[in-house]
Amino acid sequence: MTEEEMSWAGAGAIVEAVRAGEVSAADVVGAILTRISGLDSVLRAFVTVCGEEALAAARAADARRPRGQSLGLLDGVPVSIKDIILTQGIRTTAGSRLQETYVPDIDALVVARLKQAGAIVIGKTATPEYCHKTVTDSPLTGETRNPWDLNRTPGGSSGGSAVAVAAGMGPVSIGTDGGGSIRLPAALCGVAGLKPTTGMVPQWPVTPGWDLLGQTGPLARSVADLQRVMQVIAGPDPRDPDSLFEATKLPRGRPRVAWARSLDDLEAEPDVGSALSATVAAARRISNRLDGVVLNWSDPDQQFRVIACSDLASALGYRLASERDRGAMDPTLVQMLEFGQGLTGSDLARALRWRRMFAARVLTWFQDYDVLIVPTAPVSAFTLGTLGPRIISGRKTSPFAWFNWTWPFNVTGQPALSLPVVSAAELPVGIQIIGRRGEDALVMSFAQQLEKRLRSDARPRLAPA
């Protein structure tokens, strides 16, 4: 393999090549670090790069191999970690000046499992401050740029992870998703991203702020690599009580599939609509039943916002008492914390009752279908410096309307995967595949079958600086 080939190889291909002796883990890690060095001063996907540590881990992996001591499914594979997830001995900033120098003395469980399987942590990826918005910029790191168009956003809040994978700076990254934060940047950057069923990937310990809605999951350039990573990081642990359940086995036969073009009469932009049509056409061949449906799953009272802001304020609201801390924070985070502090216990209780009723409504609807196909977002990547487009398909919208198709499945706890549809002539878009709780394997299997029919070799045209 050349350095270029190693940069674009998937996790499975790297494991096979290293085990076959075609390349060493140190070669692969070196190629990835070289690419990061050449590109990231412009893209700003990484907050911290662990070059020396990663090369040492790669050499240790290479030394184990002749003795038959391969660690597992990800042995020798470079992996990046979103900078909200704790990493022992590597600073975890959460995109904030408030913890710019914080170095945890423990790995989050997901990181520990990756290392046990032989993965090599190459660095921490950019996030907006405490993951509070769906574009990736922060007072600490500035704006992260989309590799398909440097004047556009990669989305967020796992934007650094999506950019790293999309630009060939590692085959796999681990992100978090509290309202679309894995799926949205995956869609805008042309990679695959999975928000698992709530509890499928145990979370411990966590950076407080997204305890009620957030989940941890992988981003990669193929569904096969998502499946490989999930085999490593999924499974119960008593330190996360939400994880104490068994996943549903992959059912036999073709699934019953529904698809929807719009939400509350908000139509997707033409490029997204074309990608959806292509996906539906591909799904027709692998479905037992395929129905077009009209759905109205809005949140007119913004109870989702009440839950999210209450959670953030409970974790960070005390910081507002310090003028120094307030001045160091992103102004939009300050606004969310102020809103959250103004809420009452009754407000949160009302929102949690809404969540229960909303989830019951959606999960009941899923009794008739195994899979739902919808756009991940109604738009492709938009210009840097904005929170979201104000006009979608000619209709004036809130800047938050563009993630209305992702947050519902954080509320319900269902698995949702963003599958990239990439045209050489256009920006990538994402199509979302949603399943019933616990049926992550079915979602990934169905997405992989679609991927075979929709796969494109298009890549962002990047030249090292």
Q: Would the pLDDT of 80 be above 90?
A: yes
Question: What's the Cα-to-Cα distance from 443 to each of 172, 235, 437, rounded to whole Å?
Answer: 19, 17, 10
C-beta atoms surrounding 383 within 10 Å: 10
Instruction: Identify the active-site residue in 7, 82, 133, 161.
Output: 82
Q: Would the pLDDT of 153 be above 60?
A: yes
Are 139 and 273 in the same domain?
A: no
Q: Residue 130 is encoded by which pair of tokens?
A: 């405490």
Let me know the angle formed at the C-alpha of 45 by 35 and 182, rounded to the nearest 5 degrees: 120
Q: Would the pLDDT of 465 be above 80?
A: no
Q: Residue 359 — pLDDT band, cuts 50, 70, 90?
A: very high
Instruction: Identify the active-site residue in 7, 96, 161, 181.
Output: 181
Are 203 and 178 in the same domain?
A: yes
Q: Residue 393 is encoded by which pair of tokens?
A: 């398909």
**Among candidates 197, 186, 297, 307, which has minimal Cα distance to 243?**
197
pLDDT of residue 263: 80
Give all strands (DSSP E) within 196-260, no chain letters.
215-220, 256-259
pLDDT tens per residue, range 417-458 = 999 999 877 899 999 999 999 999 999 999 999 999 998 888
Residue 451 lies in a domain: no
Distance CA 257, CA 249 (A): 18
The answer to whether 52 touches 176, Cβ cutoff 8 Å, is no
Are 159 and 200 in the same domain?
A: yes
Interacting residues of 136 by C-beta distance below 8 A, sequence separation 6+: 126, 127, 128, 143, 144, 153, 154, 155, 156, 157, 158, 159, 160, 163, 185
Q: Residue 134 — pLDDT band, cuts 50, 70, 90?
A: very high
pTM of the model: 0.97
Backbone angles phi, psi at 48, to 5 degrees: -135, 130
Q: Residue 265 — pLDDT band, cuts 50, 70, 90?
A: confident
**In terms of residue numbers, what domain contains 64?**
3-243
Our count of domains for the chain comes to: 2
Distance CA 428, CA 381 (A): 8
Let me know the angle formed at the C-alpha of 227 by 124 and 204, rounded to the nearest 5 degrees: 50
pLDDT of residue 463: 61
Are 237 and 261 in the same domain?
A: no
Exposure letters 436-462 (e unless 16+ CB within 10 A, then b): bbbbbbbbbbbbbbbbeebeeeebbeb
DSSP 47-71: EEE-HHHHHHHHHHHHHHGGGT---
pLDDT of residue 252: 78
What is the average per-residue pLDDT within 176-184? Answer: 98
Catalytic: 456? no
User: Of 82-86, 118-122, 162-166, 424-428, which range is least confident?
Assistant: 424-428
Mean pLDDT of the chain: 95
Are 292 and 193 in the same domain?
A: no
Q: Residue 372 — pLDDT band, cuts 50, 70, 90?
A: very high
Q: Would the pLDDT of 228 be above 70?
A: yes
Residue 396 lies in a domain: yes
Q: Would the pLDDT of 300 be above 90?
A: no
Are 265 and 235 in the same domain?
A: no
Are 237 and 269 in the same domain?
A: no
Residue 344 lies in a domain: no
Residue 304 lies in a domain: no
What percentage of the chain carries pLDDT values higher than 90? 90
Instruction: Identify the active-site residue in 7, 80, 96, 157.
Output: 157
Distance CA 412, CA 399 (A): 23
Are 239 and 260 in the same domain?
A: no
Catalytic: 82? yes
pLDDT of residue 30: 98
